[in-house]
Amino acid sequence: TAGSVIMSYAKGKLKCFPANAELPMDV
């Protein structure tokens, strides 16, 4: 699901972006 992708992504790159930023979809 998108949720599991987001969670996996968050463990890597998401920390590099502000919480209110759009998620880059380069996963």
* pLDDT at position 3: 74
The pLDDT tens digits for 1-27 are 677 777 776 676 655 555 555 655 554
> 18 is written with which tokens?
């502000």
- Which of 1-27 are b and which e, b meaning 16 or more Cβ less than 10 Å from the residue's Cβ? eeeeeeeebeeeebeeeeeeeeeeeee
pTM, two decimals, is: 0.30
In this structure, are residues 23 and 6 in contact, taking their beta carbons and an 8 Å threshold? yes
